[in-house]
Amino acid sequence: MFTSLETPRLLLRRFSTQDVDAFVSYRNEPAVARYQSWETFTPDEAAEMARLQVSLDPGTPGAWFQFAVALRPDLEIIGDVGLYVDADDHRLGEVGFSFASRYQGKGLACEALLEVLRFSFASLGLHRVKAVVDRRNDPAVRLLRRSGFRQEALFLQHVWFKGAWCDEYVFAILANEWKEALGGTR
């Protein structure tokens, strides 16, 4: 059963009910929610998500696992990285992420994402991990590129999103690309 992943500055672990207040706080920041599927995130929704995560492990086919990202040394929750493993082909994954505004631009999301990629390829044996991102979300696009992802597609007016047609990028990284680009050591 999964317990945690560690990096020099972060602890990535399962969500717990003690994380609800911090989770709701950053997920309700307008800048964080702007390119996400939600407008607001209630304490009840956060508590339900934490409750459902208890029975999951990362890599569970057909389910999103949200890694709570905690900053050392006080272990304050600053964001989350989600990992989805395809229900039909367990070698394919997808990632998503959200971080409190005050912790963006410090390399913390990149550190967390790289650790989730390391775990996905080295421990779960995934072959390919993708990310779908709103074309206007420049910080997320830069994060994906810094993390070794390459752009595979641009879908114009691909989804009706928050009252308008939205363009989406699809980024991906293969296990062998990750090993070559990052030396497989991260």
pTM above 0.85, yes or no: yes
**Digits of tens for pLDDT over the chain (186 positions)?**
899 999 999 999 999 989 999 999 999 998 988 888 878 889 999 999 999 998 899 999 999 999 999 999 999 999 999 999 999 999 999 999 999 999 999 999 999 999 999 999 999 999 999 999 999 999 999 999 999 999 999 999 998 988 899 999 999 999 999 998 765 444
**What CATH number is associated with residue 139?**
3.40.630.30
User: Which three-class secondary structure state does DSSP give residue 12?
Assistant: strand
Q: In the numeric block, which tokens belong to residue 143?
A: 């994060």
Question: How many domains does the chain fold into?
Answer: 1
Q: Which range marks the domain in which residue 151 is found? A: 4-182
Q: How far apart are CA 129 and CA 178, in angstroms?
A: 10
